[in-house]
Structure 1
Amino acid sequence: MTGIAQWFPTGWEHFLIGGLFIGLGVSVLFWLTGLIGGISTAYSAVWSLISRHPFFQHEKFISTRNWRLMYGLGLIMGAVVFTYTLGHGEGFVTKVPLWQLFAGGIIGGFGARMGGGCTSGHGICGVGSGQLPSILAVLIFLCTAIVTAHMVRALGGF
C-alpha cells in the first residue's frame, strides 16, 4: 500500500470514481445519440462562432455546435460543482497565472484539432470502442507525456 500512496498521496479512489463517471457519461451520450464525446471538436465549434475562416465554418462544426457547446459547458460546470461541494470548497488552486492557463488552453485545443482529436475522444471513446487509430494516438500521447515530464524534471521544472 505504501507504493500506491507514493504515487497517489491524496488517494486513488476519487480517480476511479471520476473515471467511472466519465465512462458512463460518454457511454450514455453514445447510446442515446450515437455521438462521440470528445472535446476537441467543441473547441472548433467555439471558434466557428468567432472566426469566419473556412475551416471553422465546416458543416460538421456548425451543425453540431449547440450540443458540443453544452457538452463543454457541462464539463466546466461539473468541475465547479464538484470543487465547491465535494472538493471541500477550496476553489481552484494553481500557481499558474490565468493568462498562461488561457494561452495553454488555446494552444492545446489547436494542437488537438491539428492532431485529429484529443485525449478524451481518442482515449475514452476511441480506445473503448477498439479503434486502432485511437489506440495508436493514445500510445503517442502517453509516450510524449512521459518523455516531456522527464525532460521538464531533468531541467528542474518540478
Structure 2
Amino acid sequence: MTIPWNALFGGALLGVSATLLLLFKGKIAGISGILSGSILSTADKNWRVQFLIGLVAGGWLTNWLVKPDLSGIPTQYASSMTTMLLAGLLVGIGTKLGNGCTSGHGICGMGRLSIRSTVATFTFMFVAAITVYIRLHIL
C-alpha cells in the first residue's frame, strides 16, 4: 500500500492553519465564511485578505518549489461551461443554506466537536456519494 504523502501533508497543513487562525484570531477558517464576510467592506477585512493571499501564495510556492506531477489533473471537461457555472451557483446556494462549507464544517467544526458541523459534514458526504452513484450508474 502506498501512503499518499502529499495528501497527508496537505491535510496536516489545513489543520494547523485552521488551528492557528482559531487560536490567534478566534476565527473559523471556513472559506465561504471568509468570502461571505464581504472582504471589501468589513472592519476585519485584513485577516480575510491575508488568509486568501496565503491560500493562493501557498499553492503557487509549492508548485514553484516542489514541481509536483500534474499529469493526473484534467485539462478538458465533459461538462459545458454553463453546466459548471450552474453547479458552482448551486454549491454557493447550498453553502449559504448550510451556514458553511466543507472546510468550515468538516475541518473546523468537527475539530471543535460541533454537532451541527458533524451533521452538515455527514450530509455533504452522503449527498456526494449519491451524486457519484447517480452520475456513474444512472446517467
TM-score clears 0.5 = yes
Cα distance change, pair 113–63 in 1 and its aligned pair in 2 (3 A):
farther
Is 2:76 the counterpart of 1:95? yes
Q: Choose 97-106 or 13-22, whichever is displaced more.
A: 97-106
| Structure 2 partner of 1:64 | 44
Q: Structure 1 CA distance, aligned partners of 2:60 and 2:95?
A: 24
Q: Give the TM-score normalised by structure 2.
A: 0.79
| Structure 2 partner of 1:52 | none
Cα distance change, pair 39–19 in 1 and its aligned pair in 2 (3 A):
same
Let me know the Cα RMSD of the aligned residues: 2.9
Cα distance change, pair 118–149 in 1 and its aligned pair in 2 (3 A):
same
| Structure 2 partner of 1:25 | 17
Sequence identity percentage: 29
| Structure 2 partner of 1:130 | 113
Residues 113-141 of structure 1: per-residue CA shift (max 9 Å, x gap): 23200100101110001010000000001
Q: Structure 1 CA distance, aligned partners of 2:70 and 2:18?
A: 28
Map 1:9-158 → 2, pairs under 5 A: 12-46=4-38, 49=40, 62-88=42-68, 90=70, 93-96=74-77, 103=85, 104-155=87-138
List gaps (5 residues or longer) in structure 1: 6-10, 50-60
Write the letter of the residue equivalent to 1:71.
F
* Partner secondary structure for residue 62 of structure 1: coil
Structure with the larger RCO, 1 or 2 (CA within 8 Å, 6+ apart): 2
For these two proteins, the number of residue pairs brought into alignment is 136
* Partner secondary structure for residue 37 of structure 2: helix
Deviation, structure 1 residue 110: 3.6
Deviation, structure 1 residue 85: 2.6
Residues 72-120 of structure 1: per-residue CA shift (max 9 Å, x gap): 2321222222223324375975324895698354543343123200100
List gaps (5 residues or longer) in structure 2: none
Q: Choose 69-78 or 117-126, whichever is displaced more.
A: 69-78
Q: Give the TM-score normalised by structure 1.
A: 0.71
Q: Structure 2 CA distance, aligned partners of 1:151 and 1:23?
A: 32
